[in-house]
Amino acid sequence: MNIVPRALGILISAGGILATVTYVNHIHAQLRMQAMSDELTALPNRRHFRQQLAHYHGEPLALMLIDLDHFKQINDRYGHDVGDDVLIEFGQLLHRLCPAEALAARLGGEEFALLIPTEQTAVLDHLAERILHGSHDIRISAQQHLTVSIGAGIRQPDETVDRLMKRVDEALYQAKEGGRNQLVWALDTDLVAPSHHG
């Protein structure tokens, strides 16, 4: 009975199966990552953002919604390649500024979001200021630089994440209507307070 070749054959077969399983798992992980990531900026996408948002229950939570100002005009005037470059640069800026425990995501189009596990307004004010300044360093042309509008809010006790999203989205709307290039806070009372930049 020739045991050695048979054992060798079994080992080779087992190695082949293991390699196949490893490859399939790798492909599955890649597909999952692609499904959860924005293709252009490599930031987490809306789907991933919503999943993470749903995980927050009683913990401290702050939300920032960020809109690139006049983005349609950038695309119309300079072309979609320039628009894409601006999105990529802003995505890189958010990635750099995002605290380690926070989540930065692209929700779609020119809208981005930050989830930050904090209740400290000073931390958020400082972060927003850095985002506003950093955006200003992104050049669209020799004469034009990027500005952004930011809505921000801290979840209140017993407030749903959907209600928080709605409040902060309204603050973002007020930031855009109030002249852009600024942070507007969503207050507990459903009122909003502008914090002008520059």
**Residues catalogued as catalytic:** 110
For 69, 84, 135, the CA distances from 74, given in Å and listed in that order, are 9, 10, 14
- Measured between alpha carbons, how far is 55 from 128 in angstroms, rounded to an integer? 24
Pairing outcome for strands 192-196 and 111-116: unpaired
Q: What is the 3-state secondary structure (H, E, C) of 141-192?
A: CCCCECCEEEEEEECCCCCCHHHHHHHHHHHHHHHHHCCCCEEEEECCCCCE
User: 62 forms bridges with which residues in the sheet?
Assistant: 116, 154
Structure tokens at 3: 């045991």
